[in-house]
Chain A
Amino acid sequence: MDIIAKIISFWVESFIFYYAIAIFFAYTILAVISAFVLRRYYLSAKVAGQDEVLSSPFAPSITILAPAFNEGLNIVENIKALLALYYTNFEVVVINDGSTDDTLLKTIEAFDLEKVPYVIDERIFCTEIRGVYKSKKRALNNLTVIDKVNGGKADALNAGLNVARGKYFISIDADSIIDPYALQKMVKPFLEETDTKVIATGGVIRIANSCEIQDGHLVKINLPKKPLPLFQVLEYNRAFLMGRLAWSRLNGLLIISGALGLFDKEIVIACGGYHRFTVGEDMELVVRMRKYMAENKKDYRVEYIPDPLCWTEAPGKLKVLVRQRNRWTRGTIETLFSHWNIFLNPKYKTMGLVSHPFWVLFEWMAPIVEIFGIVYFITIALLGYANWPYFFITLFFVYFFSVFFTSYAILFDHIAFYRYKKKSMVLRQLVAALFEPLLFHPIVLYSAIRGNFDYFVLRKRSWGNMARVGLRNMEERNNRPK
């Protein structure tokens, strides 16, 4: 019995130890690369001009696809904000995905819309389109509203793609706030491409909770007051500024957030559009686009702009957060496993040899290994085999690394973008970084494990409801006298 216990403990503890070392090592490398990329971006941003594109007849056409499901609360303000973006050659396509509230009605009234005869060029399958609406006002000629039977976000985006006229399209969440300069900034990598084709660009997503919003525009940036959104500010900072930036530099970026991404429309259509039956359609699309380019032996890049170009509402309630993270986990699993032939396949270069294995080992497996480690430790502790001093050292080391990593993400953000200008805001972030591993991480871990359980055991594939307060409500709250 003792021998078996020793063998098990040797193997399990060795595995966990080397796995942890590998994960620390990988994330540290990513952070270092990100620091260099961010520095380069920060310096070149000082001289980068993008206004030139505003008045140019050479500016490529862009379609903004904004799927909306029960967004009656914000829809009018959000469409107005989209129409006011600084760009010269763009159209807005709003897709009402079978809303059960007054989303369509409000839109029709606000923008003087009428149903037009329209033949849909169904290059990608989508559920039934009930009608296409255009405004009677000439000034709103670049607004199209599609009313369709509910089919999910991916299906709504596919419907939008069938109507889009732009060379490029940008997919956004209808309830997000887009920086007015977002289109100019995001289209620039496409214009700067030379030998390597740019197939997509992504931008940084920030948390808008507690920010002041007027008419769909962000007027004052505040740090979220509630702890859950505050922890997510740190988490987003880490993910966007210390992860995705490095992956973009390595040309191994596998995900462009569904809240903001600019894509080459023809390539997306050539790869079949958005996957309708996955909950992680944003990541799945990028992986499929990359696969398509690699299989057709074309050089390509997926670019990423570190500028905060999109502000979104983060879940403020525990239940909603758990549901969102559960969905993200299922989306990751679905994408990684449905494209398993990429794994360690040199044909797909960086994606096959680095990104996909990284995601499998450190994004999908990390929570599983973590929970396995916890269960293992509880077991040996109950059996009296626990080596407590080493346990505490290891625990402390992990905690230290986490805080260390987050504090540098705060620093990167502060130096490069200087969005949270008050000293109190900076300090609050630092204090939150101390508590995040203890209070927030367990929630994320639980959600990820639930996601795995739901996916593999319950075979759950659908989206959960994302009850939102609504940015307009936040606006009202901000404007409320104190």
Chain B
Amino acid sequence: MKKKILNLFAIFLISQLSVWAQAAQEPVPETAVAGHVQEAETTNVGETTTSESQGTAMSIVEKYVEQKADKIPHRSFWSERCNELHQLLLATSERIFSPKTHEFLAYVLGVVFDIPVLILLIFLSLTFILNIILVALFLLITTFYKSGRELYRKKLNEQLEQLLTDYLFYDVDEEETLRKLRKVNSPLGRNVLIDMLFNYQRNLSGEYRDRILNLYKRLDLQKVSEKRISSFYTHRRVRGIRELSNMYPSGARELIIKYVRDKNDLVRSEAQIAYAYLDKEASFDFLDDLKSPLSKWVQLNILNYVKLHEKEVPSFGAWLHSPNKDVQDFSVRMINYFQQNENEEQLIKMLDHPNAETRAYVYQTIRSLNLFEAKAEIKKRYGQEDYQNKIEILQVLDVLGDKSDIDFLAEVVSGDDVRLKTEATRVLYRMGEAGKAFLKEYSEAEDISLNKFVEHIKDTRN
């Protein structure tokens, strides 16, 4: 730190020396020199002898001060701004008014600008007051606008809710409902209506949901959503994609596919989710050549959709060899969730994946699928794995472990790491009698502190 400060100081000094040298070389007006000489005489009364060199140094300093002192920036700054304002007003008056009026105005301005500080104060005060008024006005307008909008939305929501409930559950005529709904034609009203239809279709199923979709279609609201998709604004495009994929599935697929690889993260995510929604056979074919990222958020949404609609999913083994790491991760997690044991062989091969996170998903899947065949392989990899994956491996053994693993686990138990030791103890304890016997023997013969670990894992809340 000290070095940096010294360096900065040195750079500063060098730059200043050059300024001083320049100042010394510049010619000084005679009047200024005369003034300085006079000043020097008055300040040095009584000093009869001064060396020539001292005098030169002094004059350099004086010259420097003379040139700089009047240019103290905050003073010159305001003076210059004042001058600029003065010039601007003069020029404007010359351009707008007749020469006579301009002359008069120029005189008035001359008088006024004799006191620049006053002008500045007035100018600043006006700007200040104007700003406060503008902000206050804007705040008030926003308050009125927002509260009005909220009120309108609330009222409209109540009306539409009543209308839709009557239509759905009390068999009110469809044409009559459409006639009433067509009256809602303001942009905000349409937004509220689409939102409401969207929420209804989300929470309903079967015939009721179809009736809502029918209303959406007959009201030509898909045209509003289609317009949104091609909007400049991200949020509108996202909204359009969501609406179309949920409420106009027959026409949406072709419109949405081009956004699956969109550069905009939000639009791409929404389109990927939508595409999965629209995938009637749940073929997931968009994963085939997906090069753009598939975020965990999108993965989570796709799974939610598949779960919600109880869709038949394909075997995800096909995408385990995708060049896209996200697609691989997603496939492993889906294999785990849907218990796709048929992918066992390919999964075991995935243990060689260079990415630790992907391997962690593979370990979790092996555990969940009870893949005994993988046990030897994962034990072999324990030494090379990172800390998190070592825990994953021990958790796999918690499910798959048996007597044959005792030697391996004994080595972990003899180590120093508390978490790994705890997990290994848990595996041994849950293994059955052989494991428990080992723990007892080991704690008596080798490490009495192991009892604490046994107590810890015995409590299922830990």
Contacts and interface: CB of A to CB of B under 8 A. Distances in A.
Interface of A: 1-3, 6-7, 9-10, 13-14, 16-18, 40, 43-44, 46-47, 52-53, 55-60, 116-123, 134, 141, 188, 190-195, 266, 337, 340, 343-344, 387, 389-390, 392-394, 396-397, 400, 403-404, 407-408, 410-411, 414-415, 418, 421, 423, 426-427, 430, 434
8 contacts: A1-B43, A44-B235, A56-B304, A58-B333, A192-B265, A194-B293, A390-B74, A411-B135
Interface stretch (B91-99, B137-145, B158-166, B371-379): B137-145
A265 to B, nearest CB: 10
B296 interface: yes
B418 A122 contact: yes
Interface stretch (B277-285, B309-317, B404-412, B451-459): B451-459
A430 B65 contact: no
Contacts of A116: 459, 461-462
B295 interface: yes
B346 interface: no
Contact of A17 (B73, B124, B131, B453): B73
Contact of B452 (A14, A119, A337): A119
B34 interface: no
A188 B461 contact: no
Contacts of A57: 303, 337
A430 B136 CA distance: 7
Contacts of B453: 119
A343 B68 CA distance: 32
B124 A188 contact: no
Nearest to A423: B143
B238 interface: yes
Interface in B146-182: 146-147
A387 B124 contact: no
Interface in B396-440: 417-419, 422
B4 interface: yes
Contacts of A393: 78, 117, 120-121, 124
A118 B456 contact: yes
A14 B293 CA distance: 52
A408 B4 CA distance: 38
Given A119-B422, A389-B117, A403-B132, A426 B139 contact: yes
A46 B293 contact: no
A474 B406 CA distance: 59
Contacts of B143: 414, 421, 423, 426
A352 to B, nearest CB: 12
Contacts of B445: none
Contacts of B293: 194-195
B424 to A, nearest CB: 12
A167 to B, nearest CB: 9
A288 B115 CA distance: 55
B415 to A, nearest CB: 13
A390 B234 contact: no
B364 to A, nearest CB: 11
Interface string B290-334: 000101110111011000000000000000000000100000010
A143 to B, nearest CB: 10
A423 B295 CA distance: 42
A58 B124 contact: no
Given A52-B301, A117-B452, 16 more contacts: A16-B74, A44-B234, A47-B235, A53-B300, A56-B300, A58-B303, A59-B300, A117-B458, A117-B459, A188-B297, A194-B326, A337-B1, A390-B74, A396-B125, A423-B143, A426-B140
Contact of B422 (A46, A121, A141, A340): A121
Nearest to B235: A43
B296 A117 contact: no
B86 interface: no
B73 A414 contact: no
A404 to B, nearest CB: 6
A121 B242 CA distance: 46
B269 A141 contact: no
B418 A14 contact: no
Interface string B72-90: 1111011000000000000
Contacts of A418: 142, 146
A268 to B, nearest CB: 14
B128 interface: yes
Contacts of B265: 192, 194
Contact of B68 (A10, A141, A397, A408): A10
A430 B135 contact: yes
A71 B457 CA distance: 31
Contacts of A411: 135, 138-139, 142
B388 interface: yes
Interface core residue of B62, B135, B136 (most chain A CB under 10 Å): B135
- 5 A-B pairs with the lowest CB-CB distances in the bound complex, closest first: A194-B293, A117-B455, A389-B117, A121-B418, A191-B297
Nearest to B139: A426
A3 B132 contact: no
B367 to A, nearest CB: 14
Nearest to B36: A3
A9 B72 CA distance: 8
Contacts of B131: 400, 403-404, 407
A85 to B, nearest CB: 18
Contact of B69 (A9, A47, A60, A426): A9
Contact of A410 (B135, B147, B301, B459): B135
A58 B293 CA distance: 17
B33 interface: no
B17 interface: no
Contacts of A134: 459, 461-462
A29 B264 CA distance: 25
A188 B297 CA distance: 7
B61 interface: yes
B246 to A, nearest CB: 12
Contacts of A141: 461
A118 B462 contact: yes
B239 interface: yes
A123 B135 CA distance: 52
A285 B252 CA distance: 47
A56 B68 CA distance: 70
B127 interface: yes
Contacts of A1: 43
Nearest to B118: A389
Contact of A396 (B121, B299, B417, B455): B121
Contacts of B39: 2
A93 to B, nearest CB: 13
Nearest to B69: A6
A119 B299 contact: no
B266 interface: yes
A202 to B, nearest CB: 19
Contact of A404 (B128, B234, B296, B388): B128
Contacts of B296: 58, 60, 190-193
A179 to B, nearest CB: 20
B297 A396 contact: no
B73 A52 contact: no
Contacts of A266: 388
Nearest to A189: B297
B304 A52 contact: yes
Contacts of B77: 17
B316 to A, nearest CB: 14
Contacts of B69: 6-7, 9-10
Nearest to B65: A6
A414 B142 contact: yes
Contacts of A6: 65, 69
A390 B75 contact: yes
A415 B142 contact: yes
Contact of A13 (B62, B72, B459): B72
Contacts of A396: 121, 124-125
Contacts of A343: 1, 4
Contact of A192 (B117, B128, B132, B297): B297
A190 to B, nearest CB: 8
